Each structure stands twice: as C-alpha cells, then as structure tokens.
Amino acid sequence: MDEYRLVQVADIHLGAGQELHLDNWLKVARWIARERPHLVVANGDLVLGDPDADADHAFAREQIGKLPVPWRCLPGNHDIGDNIVSGKMPQRVSDARRARFASHFGDERWAFEAAGWGFVGINSQLLGSNGQSAEAAQWDWLAHTLTGFSGKPAALFLHKPLFLDHPSEPDYEDLALRQSCIDSGSRQRLLDLCKRHRVRLVSSGHKHQTRAFALDGIYYIWAPSTACVNSPPTALHWGMREVGFVDYRFRPDGFDHRIVGADFLFRHESYMRKYGAAGE
C-alpha cells in the first residue's frame, strides 16, 4: 500500500437522547461514507460529558458503529475520567471506568503498520496515574511496540496534548491549564521514547482547537473537535477556535494533513452551557 488515508475525529461528544453535536456527527459520518478512508480514529471524548453515563457510551458506540469503514477509538477524560495527578474533573480514571470503555469501544491502546509507518494509539488518561498498574503496563507495552516498528517513522495518537507552550514547561498551578495537557514527568518519559524510536507525528484532541507546529523533528497536530468550540472568546487560546476533523495521508516518505469540516459543520459554542462544569 503506497498511501494510507486515516481520518482522525476528536471530541465528538455525543449523548443519548441529545441532539447536541449529533448534527455535526451525522455530517462527518456522511463525509466518511463518501470518502472511504482506510481507517477512522476517534481520539477521545466520545461521550457528551459524564464518564459514568452508560446510555451515552452506548449511544456514541452505536453512532461510531454505523461507519462503513474500519475504526479505532481512544479514551478521553470524559470517557473514563481525568488524569490522577494533573486532572480537574471530579471523576478520575479507574479500572472500572476503563473496563466500561473497553466493553463499548474496544481496546484503549492499539498499534499497527501501514504505508511504511508505525501507528500507535495510547490511553492518555493513564499518564500520571500515581501508580496504577495499568499505567505501568501501558509504558511497557509502548516501549515494546515502538521497538517493534524497527526504525520506521511512527505516528502517535492520544487524547491530551503533551504540552501547551514547550516541552520544558512546568506543571501549571491553574487547574484549568494543568488539565489541558499531560503532566511534565509523563511528558518527558513519553518524549524520550518518541525520540529514541523515530516518532514523527503526535496527534491529539481535547483542546477543541486546531493547531500545527513542528519541534525537534516531531510534528504536533491538535485536532479540532467535530462537536464544538470551548471557552469564552476572551479566554487564552493556543490554536484556531474552529470545529472540524483531520484527513491524513501517510506515505513511506512522509505525510500530508488537512483540516476538513470547518466550512460545513455547525460551529457550536459550548461555553455557555458548560459554565461551572469541568474540563474539555
């Protein structure tokens, strides 16, 4: 296969019995049915808001399951709870919440190879878990998986970004900022692995903003949400405050990406509804 087309949808935020965001998801699903990428990656925050709303998990799974192409999911803070050391939501990641995710959406991490690339998706919510055995297992699995790519360029998918301004930044005191990315200890450990094993792309969601930059040989792409933009217009934003999704094409000599949907999805603004609630 010379070219592998992968569509990343992030933060689809669907709820049972809710019209909210479903309008956009149905448009995205129609686009996918027409374009037929090789794979769709749903990169976390699949459910509307409450990680423990079983009906929302079932509804989001039902919608994703209608896609006529292969798909893989990764969990976000709204699916299985927030990170233990850097999160903000009252619900935090636990074995029970991870098991619920797996029962609906499949594996919380996965890897495969195509078009001369290694692809790996991990559970960002386990990073900084304060000693949960599942986190240690994921670190071991990730090192083993990256080693198995044998020097091929690799693309890493996870829900939360690694940092906001720079890899060297400390953990923020402000919880709203701290929950925006993974903690500094996990970030350094992850970047050490990325650099040792030729990770060339880190693709994340969570911030509901589009952003793309390259640093030290790694391309970082923040995928917009298909559902909505967050936070008041006056808040500090790092990227484009738009809705959409990412259309990737990988070839042995590189990759292309474009943001799709900003022009035909409805740009819901969720901050009015979410005032007083936690997280993105």
Residue ranges binding Fe ion (CB under 5 A): 11, 45, 76-77, 206, 280
Minimum separation from the CB atom of position 86 to Fe ion (A): 12
Minimum separation from the CB atom of position 270 to Fe ion (A): 9
Q: Which is nearer to Fe ion, 13 or 200 (CB)?
A: 13
Q: Which is nearer to Fe ion, 182 or 199 (CB)?
A: 182
Give the Cα separation of 118 and 116 in Å (integer): 7
The per-residue DSSP string of 59-128 comes to HHHHHHHT-SS-EEEE--HHHH-B-TTT--SSSB--HHHHHHHHHHH--SSEEEEETTEEEEE--GGGTT
- The most distant pair of C-alpha atoms in the chain lies apart, rounded to whole Å, by 48
- Estimate the crossing angle of helix 54-65 against helix 95-105, to 10 degrees: 30
Q: Which is nearer to Fe ion, 138 or 180 (CB)?
A: 180
Judge whether 188 and 167 are in contact, CB under 8 Å.
yes
Minimum separation from the CB atom of position 207 to Fe ion (A): 8
Judge whether 43 and 223 are in contact, CB under 8 Å.
yes
Q: Which is nearer to Fe ion, 5 or 206 (CB)?
A: 206
Minimum separation from the CB atom of position 254 to Fe ion (A): 29
